Amino acid sequence: MKSRESFRNSDSFRTLISSLISILIGLLAGAVIIFIVGLTNSSISFSGAVEGIKIVLFGVFSTGRSAGGALSFGFNPVNMGNLFFRAAPLVLTGLSVAVANKTGLFNIGAPGQYLAGTCASLFIALSIPSSRMAPGLIWLLALLGGMLAGALWGSIPGMLKAMLNMNEVIACIMTNWIAANLVTWLFDISKLKNTAEGTKTGYIYKTTYNGVATPKFGLDKIFAGSQINGGIIIAMILCVIMYVVMEKTTFGFQLKACGANRYAAKYAGIKDRRNIILSMAMAGAMAGAAGSLYYLSGNTEFFWSTYQSLPAEGFTGIAVALLAVNNPIGVIFSGIFMSMLNISGMQLTYLTAYNEYITDVIIAVIVYMSAFSLIIRTMLAGRKKNIAGANANAEPGKREQTLPDAREMASSSAAVKEKEA
Amino acid sequence: MAFLIRQTLIYAIPLMIVALAGIFSERSGTINLALEGIMIFGAFCGVVFVRGMQNLGWFAQAKADGNWMALQGYLLLAMLGAAILGAIFSLLLGFAAIKLKADQTIGGTALNMLAPAIVLFLIRLTAKQNTLLLVSGDSASWFLIKKTMLGFDKNQDIGVLGEAFLNKVYLTTYVCIIVFVILSVLLYRTKFGLRLRACGENPQAADSLGINVFKMRYAGVLISGALAGMGGFVFSVTTANCSSNGDVAGFGFLALAVMIFGNWKPLNVAGGALLFGLFKCIAACYSTLDVNGDGIYTLANIGINSNVYRLLPYLITLLVLMFTSKKSRAPKAEGIPYDKGMR
């Protein structure tokens, strides 16, 4: 009983509640927009708007329309499998942003690192002939190569930040676009462009062309007909590894100390520059793994002329990390949630007059709300404290003892930077 | 040569005006990462305005009358609309950052995600495709100013500069330059500008002298939103044929880099914008670039992959920032929500 009481007063409980509030408001905003658009647009009736809202909420369970034209719901193995398949890259880019955030760095460079990982993986997976080497080994090499490429790409803004004190946001944005152009260039001069299937232009061969694909671990039996493979399991394992590194090792503590206050950490003998670079490299490796796993699946094709746009997975990763409040385990759940919204969006385009971009609106609103998650948490804490104070002697100064989260860290480090300057 | 100047200006002007947008917000103390999003939103609103006027038949009427002044007036009207709606959109950031003291980087990122999402949602819903085009004609046929309109003869030689600045130009370029000059003067030569800058350097001191920091920061964000919205529409008219597809090719972020490169000062920013505009221009049309007019396309003949040219603006931005970041001096209170009780 006591433990349950203390959990309800704990910081993590408040964090959970504030994330749930963000989700709720995001969904509400989406519903309101669907409703308003439905009422003002002559081609969509009132029932059409209601159907739209239903699909946004329960799109994963949608099984299409019945003979009578009404929406039907139930277990849909294809949707479910695709949900987990698409969750893997989102979980990993979310993990990438979360890891960097723990060190007080805002990794908006995930799209570029994702592309770097994709590029390296595809080159390795398609260049080594599977007649010479076991496909399983090529797959492993490709995944590791992708992670390494992502790590190298991530460490560029890390180095610029650590050595030259350049704003990592700007450095990341520039490296994103450089990656987008570089990848286009590399594939442009490569021999990996899909010329075997004449109907497709602008795509790279699937990795199955060389017999390389992520093992499925029998998941395709459960979710028959979907794209699912072992990627989600690998993503979860990486999340757990990152959790252990961040929370249970000295190295993780050093990283978090750098995030809390870079100059204080330096004073305590922690190598701040090395840690900033390593943190960005780790973040890059995770985003690189996201790209690798998505394109090593064997049933996805890479559109190589990417110079005009950046992969959305990288930016959704920011939302995933924010919703999970940078918790490496939390990103598993928030990544799956975002993937669910994605699936709902596709169902929405497929089944109703609306389109998938409404789910992007919902994600954006969730990110917007998570900007004030600290305020929501403080409000919750204030309310709890008042109740506890009225009842009996509350634990004074409990909140002050808990480790400040990344956002507080970021602002405090900014304040310190200012004093240094 | 005239072609090169013209094209460089086309890329430099949106960069310049949006970088100024960044200056206004950051000098008042609010990091505006949402420039890209506001540009996207402004471009969409401007295009919707233009389409609205086309649907009312105003454009066809003016064209039939040969009244190109009216067409330019409509363009100005659409710019104004884009600016106003951009300002309103930026209020979302202002509210979060100033009133609720939320994290400004996350707030800006949220707006950057929200703008393309909502714009594409509406475009797909109405146009059934991902791009909102003009109802009829293209932006050059409606808005381009040719030398014949200014009273010159078609074959009259008006020199390189005349060709560059008077023939085949858009009015938006000149409007943006005028706005840029006026606002730079406002920032540095007026009481309002001084107060605004004070709020970005030391808001506590400004407050102690009776300046309302919140009001000043809202003003900074609103001006920023108006400029970025207008810049987005200008970008759309001059480079994207007055269409909107939820994308401005990273110009908002490039403008942020130009702003940092220009050390948060308008004159340096204008120079930086011209430099990046030049590289953007080379990237876009290197294959038809004839610098000295001898009919030989030098850059196309070197045989460098086109992707290298596209990559250059970003790489050079990064390199330039590497050398200037040690010296760069951001507004001191930038990114820190104002708290009256803090010392």
Tens of pLDDT, residue by residue over A216-234, are 787 778 887 778 888 899 9
* Angstrom distance (rounded) from CA B94 to CA B82: 18
Residue B341 lies in a domain: no
- Cβ contact, residue pair B332, A375, below 8 Å: no
The residues, ordered by sequence, that sit 6+ positions from B236 with a Cβ below 8 Å of its Cβ are B43, B46, B47, B242, B243, B244, B248
- Nearest Cα of chain A lies from the Cα of B117 at a distance, in angstroms, of 5
What pLDDT is attached to residue A418?
Answer: 45
Q: At A48, is the secondary structure helix, strand, or coil?
A: helix
Considering the domain boundaries, does residue B225 fall inside one? Answer: yes
Residue among B107, B124, B326 minimizing CB distance to A357: B124
% pLDDT > 90, chain B: 39
Does B212 reside within a domain? yes
Backbone angles phi, psi at B76, to 5 degrees: -60, -40
Question: How many Å lie between the alpha carbon of A19 and the closest alpha carbon of chain B?
Answer: 15
Between B99 and A421, the higher pLDDT residue: B99
H helix count then E strand count, chain A: 18, 2
pLDDT, tens digit (0-9, with 9 covering 90-100), for B311-342: 888 888 888 888 887 777 788 888 888 887 77
Residue A346: pLDDT over 70: yes
Tell me, what CATH number does B154's domain have?
1.10.3470
> Nearest to residue A187, comparing CAs of A307, A314, A315, A313?
A307
Whether A360 contacts chain B with CB within 8 A: yes
Residue A8 vs residues A11, A375, A383: alpha-carbon distances, Å: 8, 18, 12
Q: What is the DSSP string of B212-254?
A: -HHHHHHHHHHHHHHHHHHHHHHHHHHHSTT-B-S--TTHHHH
Q: How many CB atoms lie within 10 A of CB B153?
A: 9
The helix-helix angle for B251-261 and B35-55 (nearest 10°) equals: 130
Q: Is B335 on the interface with A (CB under 8 A)?
A: yes
Letter string b/e over residues B286-297, b meaning 16 or more CB atoms within 10 A of that residue's CB: beebeeeeeeee
Task: Tell whether A358 is within 8 A of chain B (Cβ).
Answer: yes
Query: What string of H, E and C letters represents the secondary structure of B153-202?
Result: CCCCCCHHHHHHHHCCECHHHHHHHHHHHHHHHHHHHCHHHHHHHHHHHC
**Minimal Cα–Cα distance from B271 to chain A, Å?**
19
Answer whether CATH 1.10.3470 is correct for domain A77-339.
Answer: yes
A182 with B125: Cβ contact below 8 A: no
A–B CB contacts, 8 A cutoff, strictly below: 147
Question: Which pLDDT score, from 0 to 100, does residue A236 have?
Answer: 95
B20 touches chain A (CB under 8 A): no
Contact A319 B113 (CB under 8 A): yes
Write the DSSP string, A210-265.
GT-----TTHHHHSTTS---THHHHHHHHHHHHHHHHHHSHHHHHHHHHHH-HHHH
A41 in contact with chain B, both atoms CB, cutoff 8 A: yes
% of chain B residues with pLDDT over 70: 95
- pLDDT (0 to 100) of residue B274: 92
Q: Which of A282, A235, A234 is CA-nearest to residue A254?
A: A282
φ/ψ (deg, to 5) at B36: -60, -50
Question: In 3D, which of B174, B177, B176, B206 has the Cα closest to residue B192?
Answer: B206
Q: What is the pLDDT of residue A409?
A: 44
Task: Tell how strand A62-65 and strand A71-73 pair up.
Answer: antiparallel
Task: Name the residue with higher pLDDT: B60 or B258.
Answer: B258
> What is the pTM (predicted TM-score) of this model?
0.86
Of A306-315, A329-338, A384-393, least confident by mean pLDDT is: A384-393
Domain assignment of residue B13, yes or no: yes
Q: Which residues of chain A have a CB within 8 Å of the CB of B307? A: 181-182, 184-185, 188, 307
Residue B308 in this model has a pLDDT that exceeds 70:
yes
Q: Read off the DSSP letter of residue A298.
A: S
**Domain boundaries, position B88:** 2-324
pLDDT digits (tens, 9 = 90+) for B191-214: 999 999 999 999 999 999 999 999
Does the CB of A171 have a partner CB in chain B at under 8 Å?
A: yes
Helix (H) or strand (E) holding A392: none
Structural domain includes residue B126: yes
Residue from A163, A174, A175, A315 whose CB has the most chain B CBs within 10 Å, to mutate:
A174
pLDDT digits (tens, 9 = 90+) for A136-157: 899 999 999 999 999 999 999 9
**Predicted pLDDT at B270:** 93
Confidence grade of residue B299 (pLDDT, cut at 50, 70, 90)? low
- Is a pLDDT exceeding 70 seen at residue B76? yes
C-alpha A44 chain-centroid distance? 33
Model confidence at A410, in pLDDT bands (50, 70, 90)? very low
What are the beta bridge partners of residue B244? B132
At residue A386, the pLDDT reads 60
For residue B307, being part of any structural domain is answered with: yes
For testing contact with chain A, the best of B310, B319, B339 (most A CBs within 10 A):
B310
Whether residue A199 has pLDDT greater than 80: no
User: Does A372 contact B322 at a Cβ distance shorter than 8 Å?
Assistant: no
pLDDT at B15: 93
Highest mean pLDDT among A183-192, B128-137, B196-205, B294-303: B196-205
Q: B107 and chain A: CB distance < 8 Å anywhere?
A: yes
pLDDT in tens, A358-407: 888 999 999 898 887 777 777 777 766 565 555 544 344 433 334 444 44
The mean pLDDT value for A4-12 works out to 69
* Chain A residues 299-328 with a CB less than 8 Å from chain B: 307-309, 315, 318-319, 322
Give the best residue of A39, A160, A178 to mutate against chain B (max B CB count within 10 A): A178
What tens digit of pLDDT does each residue of B117-131 get? 999 999 988 888 888
CB-based contact A375 B100, cutoff 8 Å: yes
Tens digits of per-residue pLDDT, A47-70? 888 888 888 888 788 777 777 777
The separation between the first and the last C-alpha atoms of chain B, rounded to the nearest angstrom, is 56
Quickly state the pLDDT bin for B224 (edges 50, 70, 90). very high
Q: Is A407 touching B (CB cutoff 8 A)? A: yes
Tell me if chain A has a CB within 8 Å of the CB of B204.
no
Tell me which of A380-389, B40-49, B161-170, B301-310 is least confident. A380-389
Residues on chain A touching B96 (C-beta within 8 angstroms) = 368, 371-372
- In percent, how much of chain A has pLDDT > 90? 33
pLDDT at B103 over 60: yes
**pLDDT computed for residue A405 by the predictor:** 45
Q: What is the mean pLDDT of residues A96-123?
A: 93
Mark yes or no for CB contact A361/B117 under 8 Å: yes
Residue B109 to residue A184, Cβ atoms within 8 A: no
Domain boundaries, chain A: 77-339
Number of domains in chain B: 1
* Mean pLDDT calculated for residue range B172-187: 93
Which residue, among B92, B113, B132, would best test binding to A if mutated, counting the most A CBs under 10 Å from its CB?
B113
Q: Please enumerate in sequence order all residues whose Cβ is within 8 A of that of B39, keeping only pairs 6 or more positions apart, or say none.
A: B14, B18, B86, B228, B229, B231, B232, B235, B248, B251, B252
> Using CB atoms, which residue from A174, A354, A415 is nearest to B314?
A174
Q: Is residue B70 part of a domain?
A: yes
| C-alpha–C-alpha distance, residues A245 and A237, integer Å | 12
Do B318 and A171 meet the contact criterion of CB atoms below 8 Å apart? yes
The answer as to whether B338 is a domain residue is no
Residue A180 pLDDT: 92
The Cα B340–Cα B25 span in angstroms is: 20
- The fraction of chain A above a pLDDT of 70, given in percent, is 87
Q: Do B325 and A372 touch (CB under 8 A)?
A: no
pLDDT above 70 for B292: no
Which pLDDT score is estimated for A172?
Answer: 92
**Pick from A21-30, A49-58, B18-27: least confident:** A49-58
CB contact under 8 A, A355 and B332: no
Q: What is the pLDDT of chain A when averaged over all its residues?
A: 83
| Torsion angle in degrees (nearest 10) through CA of B324, B326, B332, B334 | 60
